[in-house]
A and B are shown apart, each in its own frame.
Chain A
Amino acid sequence: MVDYQKLYKMPEITRSLHSFGNENNSQEPKLELEKDQPEVEQVKAHEMAKKQREISISEFFEKNRHLLGFDNKRKALLTTIKEAVDNSLDACDDAGILPEIEVSIYDMENDRFRLIIEDNGPGIVKKQIPKIFAKLLYGSKFHSLKQNRGQQGIGISASVMYGQLTTGRPAKITSKIGVNYPAHYYELHINTQNNKPEIIKDEEKEWSKNHGTRIEIDLEGSYIKGSQSVDEYLKQTAIINPHTTIIYANPKGEQIIFPRATDKHPKQSEEIKPHPHGVELGMLIKMLTWTKAKTIKQFLQTEFSRVGNKTANELLEEAAIIPKTKPQKISRELAERIMKAIKKIKIMAPPTNCISPIGAELLEKGLKKEVNAEFYTSVSRSPAVYRGNPFIIEAALAYGGHIPSEGSVQILRFANKVPLLYQQGACAITESIGKTSWRSYGLQQSGDNNPQGPCVILVHIASVWVPFTSEAKEAIAHYPEIIKEIKLALQEVGRNLYKYIAKKRRVKDELKKRDYIEKYIPAVAEALKEILNFSDIEEQNVIELLEEMLEQQRGAIDKMEFDENKNQEYDKDFADIGKEEQKNDEEEIEGKNNGSY
């Protein structure tokens, strides 16, 4: 969510908030000064009033672009592609279409790039196109509690605005909703004064696609490979969305195809009503004004999940409100009483069938594609709840093989099937990994740091509302319930890991012992020969008998050496994507943070 609190703390833009989501925004009434105020303050207030003016959406954007993921040129490129791809995947999943997404980046020189993202999704109806792409905070997802990649309808329009601010060029949108419908082509600007779409061009077009959406944005950016690159993002997206095909052409003219690994649709995620435990006072008051319910009791029953006749009665009784009261008549005070009642009354946990996990098996399959290891394990936990929002944690782990044994383990983070590439240190997933005691699972670890060793850890959180630490959706917020669940998932894969490591150690010890035995058997036979003066043949016979005896006693052992050809899923070319130019990564992050468009 947009960090409203932060905005409130900035006096210059306080009033512009209204211009944000509100189309009919009118001039704010001038501050009326009260007559009996001392003169000094009057003068000051007048002075201040001169400075108080509407700030444009573009100014707000300029000042807060880091919140939206446009801190630097490299990140801007990634964020734009990410927003477009996330939207495409959400649209396809909602429509039950297996996604096929084409991403192309063209280098226009002088740090300018043209991005084209095209999907086979359900398309967008004509009149919605301008608003979706050229109006901030317009979207279908903000008010819904449903496991989506996008959440607040700010991403793609912010990208359009960023492109417009850095290149002055409009975004070009083509969309078609079916075979018998024409494709609509728009060229759009955002009016940065009033946050309204400006239509530059609006025409119908021939498009060979049956349905889908294509967006073309020019922007200032920077293309660098490495662990925080577009290449890496698309690769991880392919890992976590095995039902998706991505065709990617990077600015170097390389085409990479990530073919879908399964034709199975992911489980459709369902929309649920908010659970009372997840609602805050302001939200409750807003809901009371919007509702079509005739009575407060009806309101509670229809607008919330897990509130039936009985619970509604109990809540109202606790709050001392007559059930027939009209929702619009509920004052702030009464609303607060309802909030208190919610905390007191026992309410069933929210339904959890609304979440669509990836599943342990597919998660492991994805990891196998990326890492050639000796051992894989994965777990998909049962749903849990934080602040009334259901969520599921999934974790997978790869160990040994080609993973470098020096340094910290590699962490792959995902939220609602979207890879998280930035802000690893600020993420609840990282915190949970550090707080899990890996030493008891056979990895090295000092204090609460990330463990060391040849290991890749993947964590996915799926929820109707993933709590991010910022609008840029880079890190998961530190809710204790979420950290607890992640730790439980990690402990489960950790235990499996330990079983493997312990077995490996046992086999190693056993081999050493056998080696030891075979080393000294000849000396035993030789000594007996010296004492008893028997023949060389007899000596050989004794050696064989001894070997047979000791071999038999110890039984057969499993072969545990790493076989690099065993993992059939592993795809070296795939795994190498995003790994080149690794060295440039850090300089990039440090050097470009303060860069301007």
Chain B
Amino acid sequence: MEVIEQIKRQAKDILEHIKNKKKPQLESPIRSLGNVHYDIEKGFFELKGQTKSRTLAASTVKTFAQTLKMMGLSKELVETNDIATKREAYYVSKNWGDARFKEQTESDTVMDDVEAMFGVNREQMGFIPEEKGGDIAGRLIVIDKSPDTGKEIRIDCTKFGSGAYSIPSSVEEIKFETNAKFILAIETAGMFQRLVKHNYWKTADCIIISMGGVPTRACRRFIRRLSDDMNLPVFVFTDGDPYGFLNIYRTLKVGSGNAAHLNQFFCVPKAKFIGITPQDIIDYKLPSHPLKEVDIKRIKDGLKNDPFVAAHKNWKRALKQLLEMKVRAEQQALAKHGLNFVISNYLPEKIRNPSSWLD
């Protein structure tokens, strides 16, 4: 109900301005890497506090109206205990007459703005993400509640056979039981399938999670809560390319610039990188592909603008090394040494040897 109060307070402020014949304003934090600060001790991206304010004028009146309408929608959702996906919110806007959105990207941006404006998680505002949270297999019992009866349900993640347990969109109410030694977060569903098929979690006594690219907020929050509650180390296994380093790993570990007001809860500072490093490409003689234009751009941008890279010398070195090598290698490239080389050699060696990790 906190959110409703915030929305009402903002709306009242605007109404007061209008009645006093003053231009109303909407203020929200700037959502970009330039507006985050990184402190290794704290372990996540924090907002620096730069805000943008939108004053009602000819050029802003449209987004002004849309932002207010989005706030109204959120209030309605929370009041009626309902939810809407980003896509659904976009379709709801089609009822708003001239203020409707033309593309979903427009409505997503407004939604992110509103979320940042109030400094809350969008789930608290009744908006839920479209995407799947991630898949789990291994030595974990998830304690959830049945949606209809509210009775406690125990879900044993060892009992999904060749399938997996899906992380729900909201993980705040979930509890855990486990005797695993660590959590392994994996970039691709393909690698996850291989590890499941060959009972990796059984032999290594661990929980494995498929992130399917950049981890969703729910996935990040799930790993954070699981690792904190059960006091487990977290290893991250991605491709050896800038996307795996900077988009997947960095976002999981310290959060993003886009929703920086949430990073405190949606990050896993203790995560360690055991994916393919530039040095691995050499040491394991992995087959590689040349870096694409966009990869080079991403590395240079990371070296220049990413506070996370600036704070971690070993990452800076790794990125520079990759830039010099001009190549990238996928997780699957390990199959060069045999399909199960990753299980029999790579992962055990990596986990055994902390000096091969990256922060």
Which A residues form the contact surface with B (CB < 8 A)?
513-514, 516-517, 519-524, 526-528, 530-532, 542, 545-546, 548-550, 553-554
B21 and A549 form a contact (CB under 8 A) = yes
> What residues of chain A lie closer than 8 Å to B12, measured between beta carbons?
532
B18 and A523 form a contact (CB under 8 A) = no
Q: Could you list 7 further interchain pairs (A-B, Cβ under 8 angstroms) beyond the known A520-B98, A531-B7, A549-B21?
A: A520-B62, A523-B97, A524-B68, A528-B14, A532-B12, A550-B56, A554-B58
Q: Can you list 23 A-B pairs with a CB-CB distance of less than 8 A?
A: A513-B59, A516-B61, A516-B62, A517-B58, A519-B98, A520-B62, A520-B99, A521-B61, A522-B97, A523-B66, A523-B98, A524-B61, A527-B65, A527-B69, A527-B71, A528-B14, A532-B11, A545-B18, A545-B21, A546-B18, A550-B57, A550-B58, A554-B58
A528 and B21 form a contact (CB under 8 A) = no
A528 and B68 form a contact (CB under 8 A) = yes
B15 and A532 form a contact (CB under 8 A) = yes
B354 interface residue, CB < 8 Å from A?
Answer: no
Among residues 73 to 99 in chain B, which have CB atoms less than 8 Å away from a CB atom of chain A? 75-76, 96-99
> What residues of chain B lie closer than 8 Å to A526, measured between beta carbons?
69
**Given A514, A531, A546, A554, which contacts B72 in the complex, CB threshold below 8 Å?**
A531
Taking CB as reference atom, which chain A residue is nearest B70?
A: A527
Taking CB as reference atom, which chain A residue is nearest B68?
A: A527
For the complex, give the distance between the alpha carbons of A527 and B18 in Å.
14
For the complex, give the distance between the alpha carbons of A335 and B155 in Å.
122
> What residues of chain B lie closer than 8 Å to A553, measured between beta carbons?
57
Taking CB as reference atom, which chain B residue is nearest A513?
A: B58
B317 interface residue, CB < 8 Å from A?
Answer: no
> What residues of chain A lie closer than 8 Å to B62, measured between beta carbons?
516, 520
B19 interface residue, CB < 8 Å from A?
Answer: yes
Among residues 8 to 43 in chain B, which have CB atoms less than 8 Å away from a CB atom of chain A? 8, 11-12, 14-15, 18-19, 21, 23
> What residues of chain B lie closer than 8 Å to A549, measured between beta carbons?
18, 21, 23
DSSP class of A's interface residues: helix, strand, loop or mixed?
helix
> What residues of chain A lie closer than 8 Å to B58, measured between beta carbons?
513-514, 516-517, 550, 554
Q: Given A523-B99, A528-B14, A554-B58, are A545 and B68 neighbors across the interface (CB < 8 Å)? A: no
B45 interface residue, CB < 8 Å from A?
Answer: no
A520 and B71 form a contact (CB under 8 A) = no
For the complex, give the distance between the alpha carbons of A131 and B104 in Å.
90
For the complex, give the distance between the alpha carbons of A522 and B62 in Å.
11
For the complex, give the distance between the alpha carbons of A521 and B64 in Å.
9
Report the number of A-B residue pairs with Cβ-Cβ less than 8 Å: 74
Taking CB as reference atom, which chain A residue is nearest B23?
A: A549
> What residues of chain A lie closer than 8 Å to B64, measured between beta carbons?
520, 524
For the complex, give the distance between the alpha carbons of A576 and B19 in Å.
59
A542 and B76 form a contact (CB under 8 A) = no
> What residues of chain A lie closer than 8 Å to B72, measured between beta carbons?
527, 530-531
> What residues of chain B lie closer than 8 Å to A516, measured between beta carbons?
58, 61-62
Q: Given A516-B58, A517-B58, A545-B19, are A531 and B98 neighbors across the interface (CB < 8 Å)? A: no
Taking CB as reference atom, which chain B residue is nearest A510?
A: B58
A520 and B61 form a contact (CB under 8 A) = yes
For the complex, give the distance between the alpha carbons of A516 and B66 in Å.
14
For the complex, give the distance between the alpha carbons of A546 and B23 in Å.
9
For the complex, give the distance between the alpha carbons of A516 and B65 in Å.
12
> What residues of chain B lie closer than 8 Å to A521, measured between beta carbons?
61, 65
For the complex, give the distance between the alpha carbons of A542 and B21 in Å.
10
> What residues of chain A lie closer than 8 Å to B56, measured between beta carbons?
524, 546, 550
Taking CB as reference atom, which chain A residue is nearest B67?
A: A527
> What residues of chain B lie closer than 8 Å to A519, measured between beta carbons?
98
By Cβ-Cβ distance, the 9 closest A-B pairs, closest first, are: A527-B68, A523-B65, A523-B99, A530-B72, A513-B58, A531-B11, A520-B65, A520-B61, A527-B69
**Given B19, B23, B57, B69, which contacts A523 in the complex, CB threshold below 8 Å?**
B69
For the complex, give the distance between the alpha carbons of A549 and B14 in Å.
14
B76 and A530 form a contact (CB under 8 A) = yes
A104 CB → nearest B CB, Å: 64
> What residues of chain A lie closer than 8 Å to B99, measured between beta carbons?
520, 523
A523 and B96 form a contact (CB under 8 A) = yes
> What residues of chain B lie closer than 8 Å to A542, measured between beta carbons?
15, 18
For the complex, give the distance between the alpha carbons of A553 and B23 in Å.
10
A528 and B15 form a contact (CB under 8 A) = yes
> What residues of chain B lie closer than 8 Å to A527, measured between beta carbons?
11, 65, 68-69, 71-72
B75 and A531 form a contact (CB under 8 A) = yes
> What residues of chain B lie closer than 8 Å to A546, measured between beta carbons?
18, 56
Taking CB as reference atom, which chain A residue is nearest B73?
A: A530
**Given A523, A531, A545, A554, which contacts B8 in the complex, CB threshold below 8 Å?**
A531
Taking CB as reference atom, which chain B residue is nearest A527?
A: B68
Interface centre among B19, B58, B64 (most CB of A within 10 A): B58
Taking CB as reference atom, which chain A residue is nearest B99?
A: A523
For the complex, give the distance between the alpha carbons of A527 and B98 in Å.
13
> What residues of chain B lie closer than 8 Å to A522, measured between beta carbons?
97
For the complex, give the distance between the alpha carbons of A514 and B59 in Å.
10
B77 CB → nearest A CB, Å: 12
> What residues of chain A lie closer than 8 Å to B71, measured between beta carbons?
527, 531
B340 CB → nearest A CB, Å: 58
> What residues of chain A lie closer than 8 Å to B68, measured between beta carbons?
523-524, 527-528, 531
For the complex, give the distance between the alpha carbons of A517 and B65 in Å.
10
Taking CB as reference atom, which chain B residue is nearest A548?
A: B21
B97 CB → nearest A CB, Å: 7
> What residues of chain B lie closer than 8 Å to A545, measured between beta carbons?
18-19, 21
> What residues of chain A lie closer than 8 Å to B21, measured between beta carbons?
545, 548-549
Interface centre among A522, A526, A548 (most CB of B within 10 A): A526
Interface centre among B61, B76, B98 (most CB of A within 10 A): B61
B6 CB → nearest A CB, Å: 11
> What residues of chain A lie closer than 8 Å to B76, measured between beta carbons?
530
A508 CB → nearest B CB, Å: 14
For the complex, give the distance between the alpha carbons of A514 and B76 in Å.
31
> What residues of chain A lie closer than 8 Å to B75, measured between beta carbons?
530-531
For the complex, give the distance between the alpha carbons of A521 and B65 in Å.
7
B335 CB → nearest A CB, Å: 55
> What residues of chain B lie closer than 8 Å to A524, measured between beta carbons?
56, 61, 64-65, 68
Taking CB as reference atom, which chain B residue is nearest A526?
A: B69
A123 CB → nearest B CB, Å: 72
For the complex, give the distance between the alpha carbons of A210 and B98 in Å.
78
B203 CB → nearest A CB, Å: 56
For the complex, give the distance between the alpha carbons of A526 and B70 in Å.
12
Taking CB as reference atom, which chain B residue is nearest A512?
A: B58
For the complex, give the distance between the alpha carbons of A524 and B68 in Å.
7
Taking CB as reference atom, which chain B residue is nearest A542?
A: B18
For the complex, give the distance between the alpha carbons of A527 and B96 in Å.
10
B351 CB → nearest A CB, Å: 52
Taking CB as reference atom, which chain B residue is nearest A530?
A: B72
> What residues of chain B lie closer than 8 Å to A517, measured between beta carbons?
58, 61
